[in-house]
Structure 1
Amino acid sequence: MLFDLDDTLLDRDKAVDNMFFIIFEKCYEDVKHTTKKEMLQRFKDYDKRSYGNSNKTSYGNSNKTKVLEGLFNEFPPKYRLPSQDLQDFWNNHFPQCFSVNQSTINILNSIKEQVKVAIITNGSTQRQKAKIINTNLNSYFDTIIISEEVGLSKPDKRIFELALNRLNVRPESALFVGDNLELDIGGSQNANIKGIWFNPHSIKNDTEITPFAEINSFEKLLSYLP
C-alpha cells in the first residue's frame, strides 16, 4: 500500500496554522483578536496559492519567501524578518509544525503487518525528510520516495513504478492512498495502480478522474487489506 504524505498521512492545514502562530509570536505585538484571525486566514490564502502551484511544477518545491512577504506587506510586523532569511526560517520551522494522529499510527501498524508500505511525496528533499523524521514516520515504511530526490514527481507514472520496483510488487497488487485527484489518483492510475481518494472534508469531485474508492477516514483502509 502506497501513501501520499501531506494532507494524507500528515495534516498540513493544522501545520500551517502552527507555522502562523510561530511567526505571530516572533514578529507581532499588541494585535487585536479579530485582526489576528484575519491575518491567519490571509496567511493560509498565501500558502495555499503557493502550495497549489508548487505541486504542479519543480518537483513540488516552493519558495515560501512570497508567503511571508505577503503577510508582512499586508500586516506590517513590529519585527520583520530579513528577506534573505525567510526561506531558511520556513525550512527550519515548518517541519516541526507537523504531528501524526495516534489512530493513524495504529492503522499503519495494522496495515504493515500484512502488506509492504511506502510513501511517495512531491516536495523538496530537505523539507519532506525533516517532516518524516520529526514525526518518526520513517520507522513505519519500507521505502520513502521524495520527488526532488529522484528527479520525478507525481502525476508522472514513473515515480509510482519506482516505488513498485523497490517493493518488488506488481501494480495490480498495489493501492495508492492520496488526497489529490490529479496528482495522486490520476497519477497512480496511469501506472495501473488502484487509487483510493482520501477525502475527509467531502470535497466534490469535479474532475474526470474516477477513483477506485473514496474514504473519509483511515479506518476504512483496513477493509481493503487482503
Structure 2
Amino acid sequence: MRSDLIGYKALLFDLDDTLLDRDKAVEKLFFILLKKYYEDTNDSTKKEMLQKFKEYDHRSYGVSDKTRVIESLFEEFPPKYRLPHNYILEFWDYNFPHCFSIDEGIIRIINRIKKHVKVAIITNGSTKRQKAKIMNTHLHNCFDIVIISEEVGFKKPDKRIFELALTQLNVQPEDALFVGDDLEKDIGGCQNAHIKGMWFNPYKIKNDTGIKPYAEINSFDTLLSYFP
C-alpha cells in the first residue's frame, strides 16, 4: 500500500462518466430512436444525426426534462413516425437507464477496494433515473451508500452533499478521497468539503481551470496502486 494513503477510510465516486460511460449510453439511446422512428437512413446521415443528438444532449446535461433533446432531433431530421410530445420524457426515462452497462473490471476493482475502505456514490440527477441506472448495472450491490442530488435537496459542487456522505459513512474529510470526472462539480465540490479529489481523466483532457486535483488518474486500474 502507498504509505501516503494508509489510514484512508472511504472512497467516494461520481456516477456518470466516471463509473458509467454516459457517452456510450447516449449512442445506444440514439440507435433505439433511429430504429423506431426512422427508416432507410444512409450511413452519412446517421453519423450527422448522432453528432447532433450528442450536441443536444450535452446542452441539456443536468436538466431533468430531456424532452428538448429528442424534439430537437425530430425538428432537424423529421421522422416518418414522430413520438408524441407528452410521451418523450417517458420514453427517455424508460429506455435511457437500460442503455448503461458496467465494465466487469470496474466491479472487480471496487470490490477489491471495498475490502479496505467504505465506498459510496455521490451523483447529481433525478432520483428515478439515477436509481434505475444503478439498479440495472447492479452497482447497488457494490456500494455502502448512494446519494442522489434530487433526493437530498442539494447537488455538486455544493459541499453539503459531500458532507452528508461523510456523516452517513461516519468518516472525517481527511479520511476520504473522491473520484470524479468533472473538475468544477466533482473536484472543486469535494475540495469545498475539505476532501481530496482525484480527477478521473481517461481522455487526458488538459486542465484549463484553476482547480488543482489531489491526483489525476486515467484508468480505474490506477486505483489499485492505492490499496494492497
TM-score, structure 1 length as denominator? 0.95
Match of 2:168 among 163, 166, 169: 166
Q: Percent identity?
A: 68
Letter aligned with residue 34 of structure 1: S
Instruction: After the TM superposition, list the runs of 4 or more consecutive aligned residues in structure 1 that deviate by more than 6 angstroms.
Output: none
Residue of structure 1 in register with 2:23 after alignment: 13
Residue of structure 2 in register with 1:213 after alignment: 215
- The unaligned stretches of length 5 or more in structure 2 are 1-10
Match of 2:35 among 8, 25, 50: 25
1:183, distance to aligned residue in structure 2 (A): 0.3
Query: Residues 28-68 of structure 1, C-alpha deviation per residue, up to 9 Å, x if partnerless?
Result: 001111101110110001001110xx2xxxxxx42211100
Query: Residues 89-129 of structure 1, C-alpha deviation per residue, up to 9 Å, x if partnerless?
Result: 00000000000001101101111011000000000000000
- Higher RCO (C-alpha 8 Å, min separation 6): 2
Residue of structure 1 in register with 2:135 after alignment: 133
Within 5 Å, which residues of 2 pair with 1:1-226? 1-51=11-61, 54=62, 61-225=63-227
TM-score, structure 2 length as denominator? 0.94
CA distance in 2, matches of 1:223, 1:213: 12
Query: Residues 1-27 of structure 1, C-alpha deviation per residue, up to 9 Å, x if partnerless?
Result: 000000000000000000000000000
CA distance in 2, matches of 1:173, 1:220: 19
User: How many residues matched?
Assistant: 218
Secondary structure at the aligned position of 1:219 is classed as helix
1:224, distance to aligned residue in structure 2 (A): 2.3
- The unaligned stretches of length 5 or more in structure 1 are 55-60
Query: Residues 140-167 of structure 1, C-alpha deviation per residue, up to 9 Å, x if partnerless?
Result: 0000000000001000001000000100
Q: CA RMSD in A?
A: 0.8
